[in-house]
Amino acid sequence: MARVVVDVMLKPEILDPQGQAVANALPRLGVSDVSSVRIGRRIEIEFAGEPDLATAREIADKLLANPVIEDFSIRVEEQAGDAASVSA
Amino acid sequence: MRIGVVTFPGSLDDGDAARAVRIAGGEAVRLWHGDADLHGVDAVVLPGGFSYGDALRCGAIARFAPVMETIVDAARGGLPVLGICNGFQVLCEAHLLPGALTRNQHLHFRNRDQHLRIGTTETAWTSNFTEGEEILIPVKNGEGCFVADTKTLDALEAEGRIVAWYTRGNPNGSQRDIAAITNEAGNVVGIMPHPEHAVEALTGPSLDGLGFFTSALRHLAGAAGGQLTGGATR
């Protein structure tokens, strides 16, 4: 079994006040060489059978991301547990 | 005139919206998110609150509610629809209005009485105001920062589709101080502040919110009678 991972990020031109708040907190950790932090969202979709990229893309396009302000990328991720069981 | 008020799981201001409709002189009809039937209403209000707990993005799940599928079709056919706060977010997510509402720039929830300047009276919901009129109604949101690309913002301005601007201070960082916009036909309006909380002297900072609801009733009376449409059709 495999899962489809969707990463949703605000478009570069959209201000990310949460990311800015995190970046502004970094000096308190003693970190001073970070120029920018942007926060996105990772969504894991488990299909009952084979991963269906076309369906995942439709889900991402219609629901997971708002195309007005966000971009998304999709990939299939092999699960570590499965890999171990295959090698065993 | 029958004005429907939708209740989603997590709606907060549906009761106040229905009350505002009644005070304005209309009949409020409660609509349920899971029921695709609009029960013959002449207009619809999408109220404020946190539909579906704001899961994913504000308004993102509500857009797919059975009642919304019907409302989207009816709105494209001219049904007057007013989205307040979360309702505005739902209208943007449903692509009935352009742009998106994002996290307030300063990250704080803002709850205060807010001055607005009316931009256009040529909508189904603002014909009883005058252009440039200043009104005072409550604002309360955490994700009310209106954003859109420059082309869209320019088009909204050029086509006179900005229904209201924030004035005497922008509460959330909205681009070009936009508080409310309308679609090309003028029947769909989204507004971030809350007109339904400013309809009675006892509880509101003014009675200025009433104008949105009386405008809709006037628009509907005009449509029914073939006259008195005012500037409500574009």
Q: What is the ipTM of this complex?
A: 0.82
For chain B, how big is the Rg over CA atoms in Å? 16
**Which of B56, B93, B102 lies at the smallest CB-CB distance from A64?**
B56
Distance from CA of A87 to the nearest CA of B (A): 37
Is B103 in Cβ contact with A17 (below 8 Å)?
Answer: yes
Amino acid identity at B65: A
Q: Is A46 a domain residue?
A: yes
Instruction: Dump the DSSP string for B20-76.
Output: HHHHHTPEEEEEETT----TT-SEEEE--B-GGGG-SSTTTTGGGSHHHHHHHHHHH
For residues B143-148, average pLDDT: 97
Is A66 in Cβ contact with B93 (below 8 Å)?
Answer: yes
For residues A23-49, average pLDDT: 95
Cα separation, B85 vs B168, whole angstroms: 20
Q: Is A27 a domain residue?
A: no
Q: Is A48 a domain residue?
A: yes
**pLDDT of res. A79:** 67
For residues B131-147, average pLDDT: 97
Q: Is A6 a domain residue?
A: yes
Q: Is A19 a domain residue?
A: no
pLDDT tens digit sequence for B54-77: 999 999 999 999 999 999 999 999
**pLDDT of res. B131:** 97
Does the pLDDT at position A56 exceed 50? yes
Domains and CATH numbers, chain B: 2-225 (3.40.50.880)
Is B106 in Cβ contact with A68 (below 8 Å)?
Answer: no
Q: Provide, as residue numbers in chain B, all residues whose Cβ is less than 8 Å from the Cβ of A66.
A: 57, 60, 93, 100
Q: Is A22 a domain residue?
A: no
**In this structure, what token pair is assigned to residue B229?**
């449409």
**pLDDT of res. A22:** 96
Cα separation, B206 vs B197, whole angstroms: 9
Does the pLDDT at position B8 exceed 90? yes
Q: Is A78 a domain residue?
A: yes
Q: Is A60 a domain residue?
A: yes
Best A8, A15, A62 member to test B by mutation, with max B CBs in 10 Å, is A15
**pLDDT of res. B226:** 55
Contact B45/B19 with Cβ under 8 angstroms? no
Does the pLDDT at position B233 exceed 70? no
**pLDDT of res. B227:** 47
pLDDT tens digit sequence for B165-185: 999 999 999 999 999 999 999
CATH number for the domain including A83? 3.30.1280.10
What's the mean pLDDT when you consider all of chain A? 88
**pLDDT of res. A2:** 80
Distance from CA of A32 to the nearest CA of B (A): 22
Does the pLDDT at position B43 exceed 50? yes
Does the pLDDT at position B229 exceed 90? no
Give catalytic residue positions of B: 85, 194, 196
pLDDT tens digit sequence for B180-205: 999 999 999 999 999 999 999 999 99
Does the pLDDT at position A83 exceed 60? no
When divided into structural domains, chain A yields a total of 1
Does the pLDDT at position B115 exceed 50? yes
Best A41, A58, A61, A69 member to test B by mutation, with max B CBs in 10 Å, is A69
**Which of B60, B92, B147 lies at the smallest CB-CB distance from A14?**
B147
**pLDDT of res. B82:** 98
Contact A48/B39 with Cβ under 8 angstroms? no
Give the confidence band of A63 by pLDDT, cuts at 50, 70, 90. Answer: very high
**Which of B64, B100, B107 lies at the smallest CB-CB distance from A69?**
B100
Is B98 in Cβ contact with A14 (below 8 Å)?
Answer: no
Contact B48/B13 with Cβ under 8 angstroms? yes
Contact B31/B5 with Cβ under 8 angstroms? yes
Give the confidence band of A88 by pLDDT, cuts at 50, 70, 90. Answer: very low
**A69 CB within 8 Å of a chain B CB:** yes
Instruction: Dump the DSSP string for A24-74.
Output: HHGGGGT----------EEEEEE-SSS--HHHHHHHIIIII--TTTEEEEE
**pLDDT of res. A78:** 77
Does the pLDDT at position B45 exceed 70? yes
Nearest CA in chain A to B101: A69
Exposure b/e, B123-159, CB count within 10 A at least 16 = b = bbbbbbbeeebebbbbbbbbbbbbbbbeebbeebeee
Give me the domain span that covers residue A45.
Answer: 2-14+40-87
For residues A63-72, average pLDDT: 96
What's the mean pLDDT when you consider all of chain B? 95
Best B102, B103, B141, B181 member to test A by mutation, with max A CBs in 10 Å, is B102
- Quote the distance between the C-alpha of residue A6 and its chain's center: 5
